[in-house]
């Protein structure tokens, strides 16, 4: 029966998984799109962690990055506009054994999905949320998104985006019960990999803001931080994300930041120059709603039926 532990506790013989075991359909993103790098990082993490493909779940909403589940050889759910997070929460509540990767864009998460974003962070269910931020609606061909820079010309604002852009990290760090917040960039595969790996290891909802290049519609928006490594500030700390030597060598502008310091993390999130990359915040003590939804998961079908009948008997007339 769907949702019972016996469904996923079958004995499976030991296997070794290669990258090919996680490769789904041929990615149809534009050449040089940053989404390719994120897909590759997630596939490498799955391979390096030897997660059986049938234990991997990719969930998305709508947008270019939301094509992610199609390109993973794993379970996938390509949801509706802004709805990746409630779908992922539903899956988490019945399948605690799955490793959930949520792909969502700046339009998908920060606009139509904003209500879900707030509550998913508060629910803190175990999943890795990747915000692919390319500063534009790419799939629908260049409309202003919540993170489009002021003055940037789009189809909806040909004379330039009018409002100040929303800061996804500042917002996330303001939500109740936030437990993991990090930022990385698609053009540094090592840092991207290490950040997503740390997010994957975190128990709870890990939110990773990824600066993602869209050479088709927002070419050059990240040039200043991509071409000048000093414009990025690498966060380091013994409790943070380990920076591999090539990453530490590249980003000389470094800051010792204790990820348990929420006020410090909020200050870092506010700063656009330099732009902090690495782990801004981690709280291992935040409450997990999946512990609540997991109650009764070990019950047999008979025990569930008995419990349900008892509950219904209360309404007998
Ligand atoms: Fe990537 Fe932009 Fe092309 Fe979408 S439009 S696939 S975000 S490069």
pLDDT single digits (tens) 276-298: 999 999 999 999 999 999 988 88
Give the residue-averaged pLDDT of 27-51. 97
Q: What is the pLDDT of residues 54-72, one digit of tens each?
A: 999 999 999 999 999 999 9
Atom of ligand 1 nearest to the CA of 30: 3
Q: pLDDT category, 5, cuts 50, 70, 90?
A: low
Q: Give the Å distance between the CA of 304 and the centre of ligand 1.
A: 47
Name the pLDDT band for 2 (thresholds 50, 70, 90).
low
- The count of residues in the chain is 317
Sign of dihedral through CA atoms 300, 51, 63, 225?
A: positive
Asked if residues 24 and 74 have their Cβ atoms less than 8 Å apart, the reply is yes
pLDDT attached to residue 67:
97
Decide whether any atom of ligand 1 lies within 6 Å of the 28 Cβ.
no
pLDDT at site 10? 64
Residues 116-121: what's their mean pLDDT?
98
Residue 101 vs residues 88, 98, 121: alpha-carbon distances, Å: 8, 10, 14
CB burial of residue 283 (10 Å; 0-12, 13-18, 19+) = middle
pTM of the predicted model as reported, rounded to 2 decimal places: 0.93
Please state the φ and ψ torsions of residue 97, each to the nearest 5 degrees.
Answer: -85, -15
Report the nearest atom of ligand 1 relative to the CA of 65: 7
pLDDT of residue 1: 47
More confident residue, 198 or 299: 198
Residue 30 carries which DSSP code?
A: P
Mutation pick for ligand 1 pocket among 27, 130, 134, 212 (CB with most ligand atoms within 8 Å): 134
Asked if residue 38 has its Cβ within 6 Å of ligand 1, the reply is: no
Residue 55 to residue 69: CA distance in whole angstroms? 14
Instruction: Report the pLDDT averaged over residues 180-193.
Output: 98
With a 6 A CB cut-off, is 177 part of the ligand 1 pocket?
no
Structure tokens at 97: 């054994």
DSSP 8-state symbol, 165: P
- Of all protein residues, whose CA lies closest to atom 2 belonging to ligand 1? 214
Q: What is the mean pLDDT of the chain?
A: 95
> Does residue 215 have its Cβ closer than 6 Å to ligand 1?
yes
Residue whose C-alpha is closest to residue 290's, from 92, 55, 83, 100: 92
Count of CA atoms in the C-beta half-sphere (13 A) of 245: 0
* Beta carbons within 8 Å of 201's beta carbon, 6+ residues apart: none
Query: Do the beta carbons of residue 144 and residue 136 sit within 8 Å?
Result: yes
**Cβ of residue 64 lying under 6 Å from some atom of ligand 1:** yes
Number of helices and strands in the chain (H, E): 11, 11
Centroid of ligand 1 to alpha carbon of 138 (angstroms):
6
Calpha distance 106→86 (Å, rounded): 17
- Model confidence at 262, in pLDDT bands (50, 70, 90)? very high
What is the distance between the alpha carbons of residues 126 and 48, in angstroms, rounded to a whole number?
A: 20
User: How is residue 237 annotated by DSSP?
Assistant: -
Ligand 1 test: best mutation among 26, 27, 33, most atoms within 8 Å of CB?
33
Pocket test for ligand 1, best of 63, 155, 216, 219 (most atoms within 8 A of CB): 216
CB 19 within 8 A of CB 43: yes
Residue bearing the CA closest to ligand 1, atom 5 = 138
**pLDDT confidence of residue 14:** 75
């Amino acid at each position: 029966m769907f949702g019972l532990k016996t469904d996923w506790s079958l004995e499976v013989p030991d296997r070794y998984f290669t990258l090919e075991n996680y490769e789904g359909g041929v990615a149809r993103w534009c050449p040089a799109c940053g989404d390719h790098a994120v897909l590759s990082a997630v596939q490498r993490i799955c391979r390096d962690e030897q997660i059986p493909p049938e234990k991997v779940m990719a969930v998305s909403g709508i947008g270019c990055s939301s094509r992610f589940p199609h390109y993973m050889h794993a379970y996938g759910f390509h949801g509706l506009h802004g709805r990746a997070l409630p779908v992922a929460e539903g899956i988490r509540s019945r399948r605690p054994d799955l490793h959930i990767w949520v792909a969502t864009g700046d339009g998908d998460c920060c606009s139509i999905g904003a209500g879900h974003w707030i509550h998913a962070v508060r629910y803190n269910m175990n999943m890795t949320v990747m915000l692919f931020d390319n500063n534009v609606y790419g799939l629908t061909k260049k409309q202003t998104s919540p993170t489009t820079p002021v003055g940037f010309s789009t189809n909806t604002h040909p004379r330039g985006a009018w409002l100040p852009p929303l800061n996804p990290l500042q917002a996330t760090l303001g939500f109740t019960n936030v437990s993991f917040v990090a930022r990385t960039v698609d053009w540094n595969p090592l840092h991207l990999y290490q950040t997503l790996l740390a997010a994957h290891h975190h128990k709870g909802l890990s939110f990773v803001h990824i600066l993602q290049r869209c050479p088709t519609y927002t070419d050059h928006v990240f040039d200043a931080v991509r071409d000048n490594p000093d414009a990025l500030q690498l966060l380091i700390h013994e409790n943070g994300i380990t920076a591999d030597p090539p990453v530490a060598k590249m980003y000389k502008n470094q800051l010792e930041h204790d990820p348990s310091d929420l006020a410090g993390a909020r200050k870092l999130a506010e700063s656009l120059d330099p732009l902090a990359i690495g782990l801004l915040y981690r709280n291992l003590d935040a409450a997990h709603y999946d512990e609540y939804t997991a109650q009764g998961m070990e019950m047999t079908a008979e025990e569930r039926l008995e419990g349900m009948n008892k509950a219904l008997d209360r309404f007998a007339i």
